Amino acid sequence: MTSAKPNESMATNPYPCGRYTPATGDPAAVNRRWFLQQCGVGLGAAALQTLLGGEALAASSADPLAPKRPHHTPRAKNVILLFMGGGPSQFEMWDHKPTLQRLDGTLPPAELLKGYRSAFINPSSKLLGPRFKFAPAGANGLEVSELLPHTAKVIDDLCLVRSATTDAFNHAPAQLLMQTGSQQFGRPSFGAWTTYGLGSESCDLPAFVVFNSGKKGPSAGAANWGSGFLPTVHTGVEFRTVGDPVLYLSNPDGVTPALQRASIDAVNTLNQQNLDVMGDPEIATRINSYEMAYRMQSSAPEAVGIESEPQHVLDLYGVKPGEASFAKNCLLARRLVERGVRFVQLFHESWDQHGDLKKDLVQNCRDTDQGCAALVADLKQRGLLDDTLVIWCGEFGRTPMVEGGDDGRDHHPNAFTMWMAGGGVKPGLVYGSTDDLGFNVAENPVHVHDLHATLLHLLGFDHERLTYRFQGRDYRLTDVHGNVMHDLLA
Amino acid sequence: MVRGLLIRLGLATLLASLPLTLRADEPLVFDRDIRPILSDNCFLCHGPDESSRATDLRLDSRESATADLGGYAAVTPGDSAESELVRRILSTDEYEQMPPPDSNKSLSPAEIERLRRWVDEGAPWTGHWAFTAPQRPAVPEVSESAPAGWDDNPIDAFVLRRLDETGLSPSPSADRQTLLRRVTLDLTGLPPTLAERDAFLADRRPDAYERLVERLLVSPHYGERWGQKWLDAARYADSDGYEKDKQRTNWFYRDWVVDALNMDKPYDEFLIEQVAGDLLPGAGQDELVATGFLRNSMVNEEGGADPEQFRIEGLFDRVDAIGKAVLGITTQCAQCHTHKYDPISHDEYYGLFAYLNNCHEATIAVYTDAELREIEQIERDVASIKADLKSSASDWRNELVAWAQSVRATEVDWTPVRVERENFTGEKFDYLDDLSVLSRGFSGSPLTADMATKPAAGSYSAVRVEFLTHPTLPRGGPGRSIYGTHALTEFRCFYTAPDGQRTQLKLVSASSDIDPPDQPMEFPFIDTTKEEDERRLGPIEYAIDEDLTTGWHTNGSPATRNRDHKAVFVLSEPIAVEPGGTLTFRLKQDHGGWNPNDNHTNIAGRYRFSLTKTPEPEADPLPREVREIIGRSPESWSESEWGRVFDYWRTTRSEWVEANRAIAERLDGFPEGTLQCVTLERDEARVTHLLERGNFLTLGQVIEPHTPAFLHPTPEGAPATRLTLARWLASRDSPTTARALVNRVWQAYFGTGLVETPEDLGSQSPPPSHPQLLDWLAVEFMDSGWKPKHLHRLIVTSATYRQASRMTPKHRERDPNNRLLARASRLRVDAESVRDIALAASGLLDPAIGGPAVYPPAPRFLFLPPASYGPKPWNLSKDAQRYRRSLYVQKYRSTPYPTLQVFDAPTGAAACVRRSRSNTPVQALTLLNEQQFVECAQAMASRLIAADESDESRIERAFVLAVSRPPTAAEATTLGEYLRSVRSEIAAGTVDAAAVSGAEEHSEELAAWTLVARCLLNLDETITRQ
């Protein structure tokens, strides 16, 4: 398993992760070695040689999460992915179809259904008109559903893609395709590719953080934020909204912070003593891991401590401290990005409206609309939106045909709507369109692979060159597909 | 994960390449020096895949590389100036340059120079080393100057030669304590116990180490440790994967692997049984369980899923697993197109696939040894009662025949009808040739199936539903519940006239061949989310009583329930079906459990509808099979058919009521057994098509089973069966099977295999570090009778293995990745051992072998939405069970057990023959704070203070428990100071001793030692074998 393409280390902060002072031992020797391992990342080989008095430790720049320079100047350096698991209905939210309304209750044309495979319904089911009203919003009078009053206010900051299309129409394979570029398990997620390519800006928080909210967990489970064949350090770390933000973050009962510090000092001293004998740089990494773990024990709770946010910010998101919600996760996403977290992924799995379409959509939009809009507005007012890419999407859309009586829609891969904001995408753009029934893309299709190519482009990568050698082949997020959608770029 | 500096994998990545600097006088080796350049840079367009080949030039064989291209050749042996290949790679013209600029590939000056030299030296060519069967190479002579102990074991001779060539020298032998811990962890996954350590250190015999190795090789923990490695490759898990990720009980397969290794089953047999155990002559339960290997694929029962699509995905997974785990060859590429690098073509891929395509994915009941003994006893008892009956009625055969004649006339004339589903739910159906339908895919509850038929016009009086068994149903069915049974809440019947007018038909009576008594709902169907589940199950009348709380079911004794059953529903008046009229049969099935994402279903698996014109018919009480037998003349009955008829006939005789009751009672005690996914061959072969781009909907040409041409052939005249495939895989002629296995075993001991990519020995693989050693080991392994223990013994007794693992500045500079083996590798243990070491050191470990999965403490929220898709059972294990080895921890694919996951245990989504080995802050948090590790520290503290000793002795013992060696003076001082400081904090009341120690008595002393133990369990050395 060898890394394929160079992402040479970037000399940024020479002290990226704070200082480590050993409890005992020869401080000069330890410091020298520590400096080399900890901070050698950004230094040239000559400087290393000097520092070491000629002793080269080849592994010193091998940190897979060291910040790296991408292929070209990136437009975005952070990503917040708002994933609406289950497949939200574009017809009730984004893609207004008066014709569908007119033909409500009639059967779709047979030729449209040729070769069409559906998940649950008989494809030849009656058409179902949109169940909610649309009204013009923003500078361009774009039609947005009444379900999305908050998002309507930031519509001019969004780049709306009405022509997204995918290959899969079952949840797990479609989520995998959206997250990893493949319907099969075992590939790295988009977040993992991002940290593989860019490394981390944070030394005491994970580079890739995942939140879950909604009715269920994601269909494809932890593979949605897995590292696949990439080193496991690129796996997303699940954060919780209530309780410990990270598993095992709290000290055991009775262990005070001071005692934890003293214990880690003892562990690290013993590890250092073994390092002096064995000479294995892995032990130095272990020492660093414990130091970082200790820092994370204070930095992670600080990062998720929204009590420090002013009331008007809490009100903007509609968040009550102490209560888990999607909106709270949106606020946390902003806080994490501010603290150098590269990639934040919010799963909200609630959108599988085979039935109860109206009731559930009202609830789902009530749960997510304000948080999404607040996130965009908040990032913008803080100047973070320029280099933070926000993506809102599901794994597929829903059928123009009804499922059940008159209150459900089945999975539909042919055409659906998603949006992006910030990070170098064109604000106020509506891209692509669907036919009158919203069944197929009419113009400018954006396949999942194209989306990935475009997102990687915004992050500074040529998607054909961001590769990883596995099983004798150079793998990509986009496999052998994908075109950068230049029209979407600002 | 959090930014960890110097993280292991990064290190491996950076330093992966062998320290190969080719001197000008060193001869070129094609496989090592040339082919990798050609493969990596040229084969994509000039390789095996015709469809992507640019021009006709192939550079994957000498013949085509040197062919005349019209006055010139890509390679002109001996003359680089006249070789187009060399000219093109030197060209700076963007239209001529090779590799082309847009390929993102380029050659280094050293590679160009090497190619030029190779051409000038005559372009010698050999086939890829891994595709020719290994021959035993001569063992190099060991010079007299070799270090002591390096002249015994052929492994050392090969390693030493390589070290000599590169100017490195071996490290001294590790000290005995280190060696003891290393070999114990390597062979059993556990650290040595104090007693084992004392015994070994006291054994001063010259062969003490060899004796230790022999003891470890017969330890039952050996099978656990190496079983875990195989289970990675076999992508073992205790759940289905995908969205539902339901639990499965496949632990019989896991235990089969452990047992097979413990009994040192020859590797060729080990493979054959897993790929085709069911087809072996005299196959019994063990051979069937072994085929669970193929069945470890994931299963998608997501509502919208097409079962056929995911059956094909499962087959892809099987080919992939065989490729990686057995052959060491990647096959995935050829799923969609001919492999770009290795000579496996698209149709050869489907040739392998075809061998596997003819399986039933069966789920059978399997039994423990105790259960098998019980079954034997029950069968003996029942046979003896039957024998008594027969001898009490000496004329029973004649009486039986008379009875058969009398009942023959009672048969009603039923006409089976072809149905098609009318409603669309997640459930999917196969329509079988006998007009029955087979339920597949989603099986949540409640579920209603509406089946429509257009029968011949006429007047019909009743409907019969036969609920039928099928090999793909749990225990053979006829239902899809974990018992293979089902429940029917309501049966309804509708008539739709040709004009679309639909009416529900009234049913007056119902009968069935099974008459269960009224009973409340039971596990797993009872709705535990409600205070009271008012639903009930009982006789067939419950299916027509218009009461949705009552239902009929086919559950009963495990001995008798998995049989065909039938129910007959009589219309209040015959329905006159007009031409074009439709009858719809509705099976309302609301008697499953509450969780559609768990094994709660209780729906019918396979069924067939029939109509009759006979007035007021009843369900035939005679089983179909008995009806079939008595339809023939008794002269034609076999003895077992006599038995089958007798078995039914006896139940009709009122004078035998006592005996029948006795038999029923015995059968009621039949053990439930455990479900196990196995592979069974179908009677009727499936036709295999090549799938264009791997898409199951785009069928290409028909493909017969065949093996890839670049590997060894199957024996002349061998039938095209899965057994042939299995024997071919395990053949001595296979160029890669033995090499792949010895390479993986080597990887486990030294961190990196002799070939760095165990999943891929093909032409894209980096050249082996010690090619001759690899071949020697492969041949030696086969010559030993494929005995894994022989291989392990050979490696762990080598001087190479026994070296110290200290990394000197010279090692760091010359060979940081230890490919040349001038030292032993220092390796963080596998995830399972990380936890097992803590359990062992604390004395909590329950060393029991085998059995159902266990559920140690875990954060509950992980198994509930929104962290997991649906609520997942995690029934916290009690007492010693929670301290079982990690091999037995319930393995959900979508929600891995966090302690194991953070230390890189694979999820089982696909075959894994090489784990990551990361080193992260989340690991530190786990060891410091996770509940079970804290419990271990507390238990270890109790162990330490049990003896009345000085602090110094306790510290020493604590060290020995954690790392199997006493502390150095400096280490003892560090820990002593820590102990003093925590004691003073406890005394000062700044630390809550009861909370830390988890104890009420002696809590102050216990708390202090808990903290000391916790430090030791967190040491890098504790979770490392050095």
Question: Which member of A172, A251, A281 has the closest CB to residue B300?
Answer: A172
| Cβ within 8 Å, pair A62-B2 | no
**Per the structure block, which two tokens stand in for B749?**
């001991």
Comparing alpha-carbon positions, the chain B residue that sits nearest to A183 is B313
Q: Is the pLDDT of residue B363 over 70?
A: yes
Q: Is the pLDDT of residue B877 over 50?
A: yes
Q: Is the pLDDT of residue B27 over 90?
A: no
Q: Is the pLDDT of residue A130 over 80?
A: yes
Query: What is the C-alpha separation between B975 and B1019, in angstroms, rounded?
Result: 12
Say what the pLDDT of residue A241 is.
Answer: 79
Chain B closest-CA separation from residue A143 CA (Å): 32
- Where b means 16+ CB within 10 Å and e means fewer, B159-172 reads bbbbbeebebebbe
| Cβ within 8 Å, pair A119-B866 | no
Say what the pLDDT of residue B125 is.
Answer: 85
| Cβ within 8 Å, pair B13-A231 | yes
Q: Which are the contacts of A114, defined by CB distance < 8 A and separation ≥ 6? A: none
Question: Residue A212: its chain B contacts at CB < 8 A?
Answer: 866-867
Question: Which member of B245, B898, B982 has the closest CB to residue A221?
Answer: B245
Average pLDDT of B995-1014? 94
Chain A closest-CA separation from residue B305 CA (Å): 6
| Contact status of B630 with chain A (Cβ, < 8 Å) | no
Q: Provide the domain count of chain A.
A: 2
By the 10 Å C-beta count (0-12 exposed, 13-18 middle, 19+ buried), B208 is classed as middle
Does residue A293 share a domain with residue A379? no
Query: What is the C-alpha separation between A403 and A425, in angstroms, rounded?
Result: 36
Torsion sign across C-alpha atoms B630, B634, B640, B642:
positive
| Cβ within 8 Å, pair A206-B764 | no
**Per the structure block, which two tokens stand in for B666?**
């015995």
Q: Among A185, A194, A401, A474, which would you mutate to test the B interface (most chain B Cβ atoms within 10 Å of its Cβ)? A: A185
Query: What is the C-alpha separation between B237 and B890, in angstroms, rounded?
Result: 8
Q: How confident is the model at residue B59 (pLDDT cuts 50, 70, 90)?
A: confident
Quick one: which of A335, A307, A375, A83 has its CA closest to A212? Answer: A83
Query: What is the C-alpha separation between B281 and B283, in angstroms, rounded?
Result: 6
Q: Is the pLDDT of residue A15 over 80?
A: no
Looking at residue B141, the DSSP 8-state letter turns out to be P
**Rounded to 5°, angle at Cα B805 from B800 and B811:** 95
- CB contacts < 8 Å between A and B, how many? 368
Q: What is the CATH number of the domain that holds A157?
A: 3.40.720.10
Residues 4-33 of B with CB under 8 A from A: 4-17
Domain that holds residue A277: 258-303
Beta strands in B605-709 (DSSP E): 606-612, 674-681, 688-691, 699-703
Does residue A270 share a domain with residue A129? no
Question: Which member of B17, B330, B869 has the closest CB to residue A471?
Answer: B330
Please state the ipTM of this predicted complex.
0.91
Query: What is the C-alpha separation between B343 and B352, in angstroms, rounded?
Result: 14
Does residue A227 share a domain with residue A178? yes
Q: Is the pLDDT of residue A256 over 80?
A: yes
Q: At what angle do helices B346-356 and B307-321 cross, to 10 degrees?
A: 100
Query: What is the C-alpha separation between B1015 and A490, in angstroms, rounded?
Result: 54
The dotted CATH code for B415-468+476-619 is: 2.60.120.260
Q: Among A248, A287, A410, which would you mutate to test the B interface (most chain B Cβ atoms within 10 Å of its Cβ)? A: A248
Say what the pLDDT of residue A253 is.
Answer: 95
With respect to residue A64, please indicate whether it lies within any of the assigned structural domains. Answer: no
SS3 B975: helix
Query: What is the C-alpha separation between B574 and B505, in angstroms, rounded?
Result: 9
| Contact status of B149 with chain A (Cβ, < 8 Å) | no
Say what the pLDDT of residue A59 is.
Answer: 33
**Among all chains, which residue has been given the structure tokens 């998940």?**
A119
* Of A80-89, B287-296, B324-333, the least confident: B324-333
Q: Is the pLDDT of residue B10 over 70?
A: no
| Cβ within 8 Å, pair B8-A282 | yes
| Cβ within 8 Å, pair A285-B868 | no
Q: Is the pLDDT of residue B63 over 60?
A: yes
Does residue A294 share a domain with residue A200? no
Query: What is the C-alpha separation between B619 and B1024, in angstroms, rounded?
Result: 68
Looking at residue A206, the DSSP 8-state letter turns out to be B
% of chain A beyond a pLDDT of 70: 87
Q: Is the pLDDT of residue B60 over 90?
A: no
| Contact status of B108 with chain A (Cβ, < 8 Å) | no
Does residue A381 share a domain with residue A465? yes
Say what the pLDDT of residue B24 is.
Answer: 65
Strand partners for B681: B359
**Among all chains, which residue has been given the structure tokens 């030296």?**
B121
Question: Which member of B10, B303, B901 has the closest CB to residue A63?
Answer: B10
Torsion sign across C-alpha atoms A317, A322, A325, A330:
positive
* Of A57-66, A276-285, B923-932, B940-949, the least confident: A57-66
Average pLDDT of A340-365? 96
Say what the pLDDT of residue A37 is.
Answer: 41
Average pLDDT of A462-482? 91
With respect to residue A289, please indicate whether it lies within any of the assigned structural domains. Answer: yes
Element (H, E) at B405: helix B396-408
- The predicted-structure confidence for B537-563, as pLDDT tens digits, reads as follows 999 999 999 999 999 999 989 998 999
Chain B closest-CA separation from residue A324 CA (Å): 11
Question: Residue A37: its chain B contacts at CB < 8 A?
Answer: 5-6
- The predicted-structure confidence for A186-244, as pLDDT tens digits, reads as follows 899 999 999 999 999 888 899 999 999 999 889 988 899 999 999 888 999 999 877 78
| Cβ within 8 Å, pair B3-A213 | no
With respect to residue A198, please indicate whether it lies within any of the assigned structural domains. Answer: yes
Average pLDDT of B568-576? 97
Chain A closest-CA separation from residue B902 CA (Å): 9
Q: Is the pLDDT of residue B2 over 70?
A: no
For the CA atoms of B341, B347, B352, B354, the dihedral, rounded to the nearest 10 degrees, stands at 160
Does residue A226 share a domain with residue A89? yes
User: If you write DSSP's letter for every residue of B168-185 in order, what string do you get?
Assistant: --PPPBPPHHHHHHHHHH
* Of A416-430, A433-447, B296-310, the least confident: B296-310
If you average pLDDT over every residue of chain B, what do you get?
93
Average pLDDT of B343-347? 90
Chain B closest-CA separation from residue A487 CA (Å): 23
Contact B799, B173 (CB under 8 A): yes
- The predicted-structure confidence for B641-682, as pLDDT tens digits, reads as follows 999 999 999 999 999 999 999 999 999 999 999 999 999 999
Does residue A172 share a domain with residue A285? no
| Cβ within 8 Å, pair B304-A249 | no
Does residue A220 share a domain with residue A149? yes
- Higher per-residue confidence, A361 vs A59: A361
- Where b means 16+ CB within 10 Å and e means fewer, B257-286 reads bbbbbbebbbbbbbbbbbbbbbbbeeeebe
| Contact status of B993 with chain A (Cβ, < 8 Å) | yes
- Name residue A353's amino acid: Q
Contact B481, B622 (CB under 8 A): no
Query: What is the C-alpha separation between B77 and B429, in angstroms, rounded?
Result: 63
Contact A398, A353 (CB under 8 A): yes
Say what the pLDDT of residue B411 is.
Answer: 81
Q: Is the pLDDT of residue A23 over 70?
A: no
Q: How confident is the model at residue A250 (pLDDT cuts 50, 70, 90)?
A: very high
- Where b means 16+ CB within 10 Å and e means fewer, A395-420 reads bbbbbbbbbbeebbbbbbbbbbbbbb
Domain boundaries, chain B: 26-131, 266-368+673-734, 391-411+621-669, 415-468+476-619, 931-1025
Element (H, E) at A388: strand A388-393
Does residue A314 share a domain with residue A299? no
Average pLDDT of A288-306? 93
Does residue A235 share a domain with residue A201? yes
- The predicted-structure confidence for B77-105, as pLDDT tens digits, reads as follows 988 888 888 888 888 888 888 888 888 78
Chain A closest-CA separation from residue B184 CA (Å): 20
| Cβ within 8 Å, pair A240-B910 | no
Say what the pLDDT of residue A55 is.
Answer: 33
Question: Residue B43: its chain A contacts at CB < 8 A?
Answer: none
| Cβ within 8 Å, pair A121-B424 | yes
With respect to residue A32, please indicate whether it lies within any of the assigned structural domains. Answer: no
**Per the structure block, which two tokens stand in for B630?**
């008595």
* Of A463-472, B428-437, B445-454, B564-573, the least confident: A463-472
Element (H, E) at A411: strand A409-412
Query: What is the C-alpha separation between B477 and B448, in angstroms, rounded?
Result: 18
| Cβ within 8 Å, pair A119-B816 | no
Query: What is the C-alpha separation between A62 and A450, in angstroms, rounded?
Result: 32
Question: Residue A200: its chain B contacts at CB < 8 A?
Answer: 2-3
| Cβ within 8 Å, pair B4-A63 | yes
If you average pLDDT over every residue of chain A, what do you get?
87
Distances (CA, A) of B644 to B627, B634, B639, B649: 10, 13, 9, 9
- The predicted-structure confidence for B744-790, as pLDDT tens digits, reads as follows 999 999 999 999 999 999 988 889 999 999 999 999 999 999 999 99
Average pLDDT of A348-365? 96
SS3 B870: coil
**Per the structure block, which two tokens stand in for B65?**
């590389």
Query: What is the C-alpha separation between A342 and B917, in angstroms, rounded?
Result: 23
Does residue A140 share a domain with residue A272? no
| Cβ within 8 Å, pair A292-B924 | yes
Question: Residue B901: its chain A contacts at CB < 8 A?
Answer: 222
Does residue A129 share a domain with residue A266? no
Say what the pLDDT of residue A212 is.
Answer: 94
Contact B893, B240 (CB under 8 A): yes
Question: Residue A231: its chain B contacts at CB < 8 A?
Answer: 7, 9-10, 13, 916, 918
Proportion of chain A in helix, strand, coil states, percent, rounded to 5: 40, 15, 45
Say what the pLDDT of residue B21 is.
Answer: 52
Looking at residue A236, the DSSP 8-state letter turns out to be P
- Name residue B340's amino acid: K
| Cβ within 8 Å, pair B895-A235 | no
pTM, full prediction: 0.90
SS3 A213: strand
Beta strands in B294-370 (DSSP E): 359-366
Integer-rounded Cα radius of gyration of chain B: 34
Question: Residue A214: its chain B contacts at CB < 8 A?
Answer: 865-866
% of chain B beyond a pLDDT of 70: 97
Question: Which member of A66, A266, A282 has the closest CB to residue B975?
Answer: A266
Average pLDDT of A68-76? 94
Looking at residue A9, the DSSP 8-state letter turns out to be B
Q: How confident is the model at residue A4 (pLDDT cuts 50, 70, 90)?
A: very low
With respect to residue A146, please indicate whether it lies within any of the assigned structural domains. Answer: yes
Say what the pLDDT of residue B57 is.
Answer: 83
Distances (CA, A) of A61 to A39, A194, A271, B905: 9, 19, 21, 26
Contact B540, B568 (CB under 8 A): no
Question: Which member of B3, B341, B808 has the closest CB to residue A207?
Answer: B3
- The predicted-structure confidence for A170-181, as pLDDT tens digits, reads as follows 999 999 999 999
Say what the pLDDT of residue B11 is.
Answer: 34
Contact B298, B317 (CB under 8 A): yes
With respect to residue A58, please indicate whether it lies within any of the assigned structural domains. Answer: no
Average pLDDT of A109-121? 92
- The predicted-structure confidence for B716-737, as pLDDT tens digits, reads as follows 999 999 999 999 999 999 999 9
**Rounded to 5°, angle at Cα B361 from B359 and B365:** 125
Say what the pLDDT of residue A62 is.
Answer: 58
Query: What is the C-alpha separation between A483 and A481, in angstroms, rounded?
Result: 7
